[in-house]
Structure 1
Amino acid sequence: MGVLSRLSALLTGQQPVAAGSTTTVPILVIGSTGLALAQGLEKVGIRCIVVEKNESLDAQPRDWNMGLHWGAESLQALMPEAMWLRIQSIQVDPSTPTPAEDAIQFLNGQTGELMTSVPANKFYRLRRRKLGALLAQGLDIRYGMKLEKIKYSEDGRYATASFTNGPSITASLIVGTDGARSTTRELLLGPEQGSIRTLPYCATFVQARFRAEQALFLRKFHPLYLACISPAGYFSFFGLHDVPNPKRPETWTFFFYISWYSSLEEQEATAHWSNAQRLQQGKEFSKNFTDPWKSAFSWLAEDQEVWYMSLSDFDPGAEGHRWDNKGGRVTLAGDAAHAMTYQRGQGLNHSVTDAGKLVVAIQDFFSGLKSRGDAIRLYEEEMIARAGGEVRMSTTNTEMVHDWQKVLKSPIMTKGMTKVHDNKSKN
């Protein structure tokens, strides 16, 4: 029997355990943002359990959408073929095919003049909720399990996760994929070093429907997505979020936001603001904008719900951020490892790339090609260099796109949406 077969037999959860004690499994994935990783593991025959602190994938009240471009190859490799063939169905508008060549237009936010077109070839705009539902199919997901602590066996072989409710789970490897505010990361680094960094930038997001004639007007600027940068120091995005019926514009949901510089003191002073105040602030900002932002904000009802958030990051390459993986028994991936700002549209692409590379690393130590410690160390070194570099570039980009004197030298203007390693190879 090979190493993979022996380990799988040992950790399938089929050996006798006392009632209410510990479940065992080869790989434990903490957080439902690790569903792509779980699909990749299942695809190569390595059993895993995914635990999610919420009661369902749809527990969060708000949905959002994400751009997938250079990371599409990794996501496709992780999915079963039949699942990948459904990728069109989870886009913001399933009726609009993804073109082989496209570009995101960046407008001057005040004049409407075209500043630049950033190439976005095979640019998938995916709804988070639909992507999660697709990736969840066929997986062993345990809901309502909030991570409390991790213990490591003295023999160096296992890690055991304990939860505020539910049985403990022992695994050969625990992977924290529990988002930007990762509990796993805080357990590894402590609450101070393991926390995200709040940046002096904020954004107010809107998801709204409009009357049919208004929706048709808003969509004429681009069928799916559009960006603008204002000389007044604002960055904005506008696009579709959901098209349930392409023939009924009144059913379309649009997704748009304005982001701006906001000192940490200002953020604290306005932390108590109501939804009405946030909405009114957005409306005031938009008065000096070009369309579609100007009209979209002005057409919003006075009770329209908005979504305000501070921007933040976590750089795994920063001093004090290197965690101890306990000989390859615990690691991080996705936003848990590298939370980044979104004005360069890189988060999903790095997350699925992490998943693809981590599946290979896990196969390497299950097959005996590498030791577990070496396999996870090499995965982390590549991930930290790649995604850590992107965290820093994305934060720099966020700073520059909110400063009109620096906009044209910002990474989104000079490097587009290519990954950090691609940029380095061109310099």
Structure 2
Amino acid sequence: MQHTDVLIVGAGPTGLTLGIDLARRGVTALVTEKGPALSPGSRGKGLQPRTLEVFEDLGVLDGILAAGGPYPPTMTWRDGEQLGERPMFDPVEEDEGSRFTEPWMIAQWRTQEILYDRLRTLGGQVLFDHEALTLTQDTDGVTVTFTGGTEIRARYVVAADGGRSTLRRALGIGLAGGETLSLDPIVVADVRVPGLSRTHWHMFPPAEEGTGFLAICPLAGTDHFQLVAQVTGVEGALETPATGETVSHAPRPDTDATLETVNALLRARTHLPTATDLTWSSAFVPRTALADRFRAGRVFLAGDAAHIHTPAGGQGLNTSVQDAYNLGWKLGAVLRGAPARLLDTYEEERRAVAAGMLGLSTAIARSEARRGRSTRQLDLNYRESSLSQGTTSSLRAGDRVPVTLAGTDLHALIQGPDWTELTLPEGVFLVRPDGYVGWSGPTREGLAEYAAQVGA
């Protein structure tokens, strides 16, 4: 039986981010992935400004910026005619709070490759072809059993194995507040679209009631587009003009869609004749859900295993990465001897944030909210957390530390995996490893007591 301090099940953005954070702390950790390689597909292609800050701290920002690009404006079409363009996101004014104000587009498969390369550089590894089946835990650790009978024993386990999480089900943790936003499945496919401009995100609204939308977005850093289409039950089967054959438009939800299906949708709803070179596709029914708990003993849920988002708000991958960023420093601290109760604050902090992001995503999907400052995730805070203690108001305990304050580049000072004490004209601050203020006061009185409580 193989042994490790932390076992991370799932090598998506969540699991890889956590693996990197633990590796740079010198924590012995293993990441497992059920498939033979990293999962393909553009999937969550938008990185919000807060996630870019996290990736800067983890040492992958340069690769992310080199492999992606800014979001293009949208172009709406009707009957082959352009109706006009608009930005996908409401503009946000630049200020001293962050050096990033706009989301960055990069296909998820490329994000995963960059994270994986960083993990290996730090000495971490991913065990592929390891599909988790079940687990047992006791007071000292957790044993996870994989296909083929392999077992891995860990002091802590993190289930980052997606929305259909095997480990979440094995733990008996339910999903609360699950809501299906539409009974019509969504088809997503990475394809080439010959002759289509890459300067815009092309939108094709429903031509009539009962038909679904279709959108085609150029994937920055590639020669592919991400095609997204709502598949409605009213349309029935789609006839392919080129051959006259009838093609089913409705793949079973949560299964791949074929190029034939994609092209039938394309021809029925746009002036474009065909797509080619399908490299990945998926179909799903959009829904939201939140796990009842984010922790069961020595097992933690992170990412889609803990919360399922509609893609409309661009929050799912970003919220998941920040789950990992929150949990990593806490696991590292407890493994070094910090009070075990520190791990209780993971669920306390992240479940509340995930619930808020789910509400925002749902509102955007229903056109009840716009993609504005709130989607950038820069204003998220842990003010209500039991870890947030302070008496000064200029920069409150629980707030994310801004990039610049009073002319000082604070992010340059707080980079790295450790706590940072800042003395500024406004007071004294102890900054957590994830960049949020843990403690604040007019002087250092009380700081040492707090530091001992959190293992700083």
Scaled by the length of structure 2, the TM-score of the pair is: 0.65
Name 2:54's counterpart in structure 1: 74
User: What are the residue-to-residue correspondences of 1:156-167 with 2, within 5 Å?
Assistant: 156-165=139-148, 167=150
Report whether the alignment pairs 1:350 with 2:319.
yes
Name 2:387's counterpart in structure 1: none
Match of 1:336 among 277, 298, 305: 305
Distance 1:280 1:236, change over 3 A: closer
User: What are the residue-to-residue correspondences of 1:12-161 with 2, within 5 Å?
Assistant: 22-33=1-12, 34-57=15-38, 60=40, 62-64=41-43, 66-70=45-49, 71-77=51-57, 79=58, 81=59, 83-91=60-68, 105-106=73-74, 110=78, 112-114=83-85, 118=89, 119=91, 121-137=101-117, 138=120, 139-153=124-138, 156-161=139-144
Give the whole-Å Cα distance in 2 for the aligned partners of 1:193 and 1:314.
9
Does the CA-based 8 Å contact 2:77-2:202 persist in structure 1? no
Match of 1:386 among 347, 353, 374: 353
Name 2:370's counterpart in structure 1: 412
Per-residue deviation, residues 357-409 of structure 1 (Å, max 9, x unmatched): 111221332233331xx2232111211111122223323432x2xxxxxx3xx
Give the whole-Å Cα distance in 1 for the aligned partners of 2:259 and 2:192.
18
Give the whole-Å Cα distance in 2 for the aligned partners of 1:129 and 1:43.
23
Does the CA-based 8 Å contact 1:176-1:185 persist in structure 2? yes
User: What are the residue-to-residue correspondences of 1:190-339 with 2, within 5 Å?
Assistant: 199-211=182-194, 214-215=195-196, 218-220=197-199, 222=200, 225=201, 232=208, 234-241=212-219, 243=221, 252-259=223-230, 270-271=250-251, 276-277=260-261, 279-286=263-270, 294-295=271-272, 298-300=273-275, 307-316=281-290, 321-322=292-293, 325-326=296-297, 329-339=298-308
How far has the Cα of 1:68 moved from its partner? Answer: 0.3
Distance 1:316 1:208, change over 3 A: closer
Per-residue deviation, residues 177-196 of structure 1 (Å, max 9, x unmatched): 11122111111226x75998
Q: Which runs of 5+ in 2 are unaligned?
A: 93-100, 238-247, 384-456
Instruction: Name the amino acid aligned to 1:389.
Output: G
Alignment length (residue pairs):
345
Give the whole-Å Cα distance in 2 for the aligned partners of 1:360 and 1:411.
33
Name 1:375's counterpart in structure 2: 342
Q: Which runs of 5+ in 1 are unaligned?
A: 1-21, 245-251, 287-293, 401-406
How far has the Cα of 1:274 moved from its partner? Answer: 6.8
Q: Secondary structure at the match of 1:219?
A: coil
- Taking only the aligned residue pairs, the percentage that are identical comes to 20
Give the whole-Å Cα distance in 2 for the aligned partners of 1:45 and 1:414.
38
Instruction: Name the amino acid aligned to 2:264.
Output: Q
Give the whole-Å Cα distance in 1 for the aligned partners of 2:149 and 2:178.
28
Give the whole-Å Cα distance in 2 for the aligned partners of 1:394 and 1:112.
27
How far has the Cα of 1:259 moved from its partner? Answer: 2.6
Distance 1:307 1:54, change over 3 A: closer
Give the whole-Å Cα distance in 2 for the aligned partners of 1:274 and 1:36.
32
How far has the Cα of 1:339 moved from its partner? Answer: 1.4
Per-residue deviation, residues 188-243 of structure 1 (Å, max 9, x unmatched): 226x75998655232223433344xx24xx124x3xx4657558574444322265
Q: Secondary structure at the match of 2:290?
A: coil
Give the whole-Å Cα distance in 2 for the aligned partners of 1:378 and 1:356.
13
Range with greater deviation from structure 2 (107-116 or 38-47):
107-116
Instruction: Name the amino acid aligned to 1:146.
Output: E
Range with greater deviation from structure 2 (176-185 or 198-207):
198-207
Report whether the alignment pairs 1:189 with 2:172.
yes
Give the whole-Å Cα distance in 2 for the aligned partners of 1:344 and 1:140.
32
How far has the Cα of 1:176 moved from its partner? Answer: 0.5
Scaled by the length of structure 1, the TM-score of the pair is: 0.69
How far has the Cα of 1:308 moved from its partner? Answer: 4.9
Give the whole-Å Cα distance in 1 for the aligned partners of 2:345 and 2:362.
26
Distance 1:104 1:227, change over 3 A: farther
Distance 1:274 1:65, change over 3 A: closer
Q: CA RMSD for the aligned pairs?
A: 3.7
Instruction: Name the amino acid aligned to 2:346.
Output: Y
